[in-house]
Amino acid sequence: MEQALEIYERKGVQYGYAVSPEQLDDLIALYDAYDAAGGSPHEDFKGPLVAEELKAAIHASYRFTQVGGKLEPIRTSLMRDVEHCPICGITGPRELDHYLPKSGYRSLAIYVRNLVPLCHDCNQSKSAQEAGQPEHQFVHPYFEELPDVQFLRATVTLANGALTIDYDINPAADLPDILRTRLSFQLRRLKLNERLQREINTYLTSHAVMLATTFEAGGGENVSMFLNRQANVERRAFHRNHWRPVLLGALADHQGFCAGGFQGVLPGEHD
């Protein structure tokens, strides 16, 4: 924190803040309270007792976490080993999101547990959100472990030569009501269905030959078995509510798709 708030001068203007040991203790207490609440929004985290100038200096110091800044190690260590965006699982994370927005929660602007690596699209979709209403609160990847039940559901429609996959949160899944509402909100806010359509096409195209081969060898049942096996692999590689295993499981259950329907929607080997 001292490093972040180091006083310096640029073009005759002084930046930074001479933070006292007592103020540091207060900030640490605030961060401890944030941890204890798992990042759930609370007026106290806005730091009503923290000096305005100090809040402004912390808020301003966030820019040092950018590439080349003196706080870049914060960014580097948070991004390290995070292969996929924890919210959508589509691409790698490229940005740091302030779980509680730094505009309202200035004291938390450089607090590492409030900084979550996300992909650009998720960060964009989320940033428009007003933190406050509990049912609009995104899941906190550091603090909230989701129940080990399958709640993401994919509905397959195969019609007029087109495959449509619609994801939603299964109303029958054994989840606390508030969590179900939050997950549904998150899915809509992220426009996940729209964003996944192209990913799904690319992903299934990579399995086109395997689908054709398994179909030739043993018909629809064989295709269904292959899809279930591949779903298991993806489930282990990601998690049970990742879009890939959920997609494969739903396709394995879709008779029309398995019984040759896939040929009409995926590119073939011949013109």
Q: Hey, what are 265's tokens?
A: 């929607």
Closest by CA to 190, choosing from 171, 167, 174, is 167
Q: SS3 string of the chain?
A: CHHHHCCEEECCEEECCCCCHHHHHHHHHHHHHHHHCCCCCCHHHHCCCCCHHHHHHHHHHHHHHCCCCCCHHHHHHHHCCCCCCCCCCCCCCCEEEECCCCCCCHHHCCCHHHEEEECHHHHHHHHCCCCCCHHHCCCCCCCCCCCCCCCEEEEEEEECCEEEEEEEECCCCCCCHHHHHHHHHHHHHCCHHHHHHHHHHHHHHCCHHHHHHHHHHHHHHHHHHHHHHHHHHHHHHCCCCCHHHHHHHHHHCCHHHHHHHHHHHCCCCCC
**Distance of closest approach, residue 127 Cβ to Zn ion, in angstroms:** 12
The residue from 5, 27, 74, 88 that contacts Zn ion (CB under 5 A) is 88
**Distance of closest approach, residue 41 Cβ to Zn ion, in angstroms:** 21
Q: Which is nearer to Zn ion, 5 or 247 (CB)?
A: 247
**Distance of closest approach, residue 125 Cβ to Zn ion, in angstroms:** 8
**Distance of closest approach, residue 74 Cβ to Zn ion, in angstroms:** 20
Q: Which is nearer to Zn ion, 87 or 196 (CB)?
A: 87
Residue range at the interface with Zn ion (CB under 5 A); choices 42-50, 70-78, 87-95, 249-257: 87-95
Site string for Zn ion, 202-241 (x = CB under 5 A): ----------------------------------------
Site string for Zn ion, 42-81 (x = CB under 5 A): ----------------------------------------
Residue range at the interface with Zn ion (CB under 5 A); choices 64-72, 114-122, 146-154, 204-212: 114-122
The residue from 74, 109, 110, 122 that contacts Zn ion (CB under 5 A) is 122
The residue from 19, 85, 152, 204 that contacts Zn ion (CB under 5 A) is 85
Residue range at the interface with Zn ion (CB under 5 A); choices 27-35, 113-121, 221-229, 258-266: 113-121
Question: What is the distance between the alpha carbons of residues 161 and 264, in angstroms, rounded to a whole number?
Answer: 6
Q: Is residue 119 at the binding interface for Zn ion, with CB under 5 A as the rule?
A: yes
**Distance of closest approach, residue 164 Cβ to Zn ion, in angstroms:** 21
Residues in 147-186 that interact with Zn ion by CB under 5 A: none
Give me the residues that bind Zn ion (CB under 5 A), please. Answer: 85, 87-88, 119, 122
